[in-house]
């Protein structure tokens, strides 16, 4: 699939329309702010530390994860195809006083000129929003240095994830706007792992991220039925 076609215009428009609210912790981006500490801690563990590591955040949006990693010493690059989101991300740097290289690019195009450049490649909560997630994974692998770590997250595809991530989160609890996710784009861990193996990678860890609607807390654990994170490296 050509780079320019591995973008869903409807998804881009969706995030463009709400870009100004990326850093509003009570907006539709509240769940991302709430899970961010878990994501950052997970990446730091799997990356074996962040200080001085060159990391690219694929699908960085307004920079919530990108900035948090930079605050822990990572040398960050963020790429996205939603121009308004990147404008918000760059503007927020004036508040955070961080140095981050934000670029308007697809993962595939970026990989053509930045092969084997990064210690860590992160692509979180993004794969379920593109027509061809396998192409994103292929590009992410090309960006990794030998010995680097690839960290992905997405939604599992099963009846439980449909009930909780779409019916529950979008329609019952109102945690995220209706229409945020399309069930057919959810990815089973076995499918993700197979794509990684096809790229010469081996899976090091799979962890689940769960939400308790009574306590409003997010936790990491072994339940990968809904949200999950996966770490991989090149197979020796």
> Which two three-digit tokens encode residue 210?
């769960």
The pLDDT, as a whole number, for residue 164 is 85
Compute the distance between CA of residue 18 and CA of residue 84 in angstroms, rounded to an integer: 9
Q: At what angle do helices 64-71 and 30-46 cross, to 10 degrees?
A: 40
pLDDT at 1: 47
Residues 6+ apart with CB under 8 A from 205: 46, 229, 230, 231
For residue 140, the model assigns a pLDDT of: 98
User: Which residues make beta-bridge pairs with 228?
Assistant: 154, 208
Residue 122: predicted pLDDT: 98
Please tell me the predicted confidence (pLDDT) of residue 158: 95
For residue 178, give the DSSP letter.
Answer: T
Residue 146, Cβ neighbours under 10 Å: how many? 7
Nearest to 129 by CA among 166, 183, 50, 205: 183
- Predicted confidence at residue 18, as pLDDT, reads 78
Contacts of residue 228, Cβ cutoff 8 Å, sequence gap at least 6: 153, 154, 155, 156, 189, 206, 207, 208, 209
**pLDDT at res. 16:** 78
Do 147 and 13 form a contact (C-beta atoms < 8 A)? no
H or E element that contains 218: strand 217-221
The class that CATH gives domain 3-234 is alpha beta
Nearest Cα to Cα of residue 36 among 230, 173, 229:
229
- pTM here is 0.91
Q: Give the up-direction half-sphere exposure of residue 128: CA atoms within 13 A in the CB hemisphere.
A: 25
Would you kindly state where each structural domain of the chain is located, as residue ranges? 3-234
What is the C-alpha to C-alpha distance for residues 188 and 165, in angstroms, rounded to an integer?
14
Is the separation of the CB atoms in 19 and 85 below 8 Å? yes
Low-confidence ranges of the chain (pLDDT < 70): 1-5
């Amino acid at each position: 699939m050509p780079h320019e076609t591995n973008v869903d215009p409807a998804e881009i428009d969706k995030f463009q329309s709400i870009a100004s609210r990326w850093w509003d912790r009570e907006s539709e981006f509240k769940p991302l702010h709430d899970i961010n500490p878990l994501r950052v801690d997970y990446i730091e563990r799997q990356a074996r530390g962040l200080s001085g590591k060159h990391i690219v955040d694929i699908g960085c949006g307004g920079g919530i994860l990108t900035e948090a990693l930079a605050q822990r010493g990572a040398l960050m690059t963020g790429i996205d195809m939603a121009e308004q989101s990147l404008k918000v991300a760059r503007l927020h740097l004036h508040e955070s006083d961080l140095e981050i290289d934000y670029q308007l690019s697809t993962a595939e195009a970026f990989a053509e000129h930045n092969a084997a450049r990064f210690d860590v490649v992160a692509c979180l909560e993004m794969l379920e929003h593109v027509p061809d997630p396998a192409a994103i994974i292929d590009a992410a692998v090309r960006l990794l240095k030998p010995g680097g770590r690839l960290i992905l997250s997405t939604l599992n595809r099963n009846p439980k994830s449909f009930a909780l991530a779409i019916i529950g989160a979008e329609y019952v609890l109102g945690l995220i706007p209706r229409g945020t996710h399309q069930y057919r784009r959810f990815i089973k861990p076995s499918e993700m792992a197979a794509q990684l193996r096809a790229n010469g990678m081996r899976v090091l860890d799979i962890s689940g991220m769960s939400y308790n609607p009574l306590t409003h807390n997010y936790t990491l654990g072994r339940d990968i039925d809904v949200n999950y994170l996966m770490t991989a490296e090149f197979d020796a």
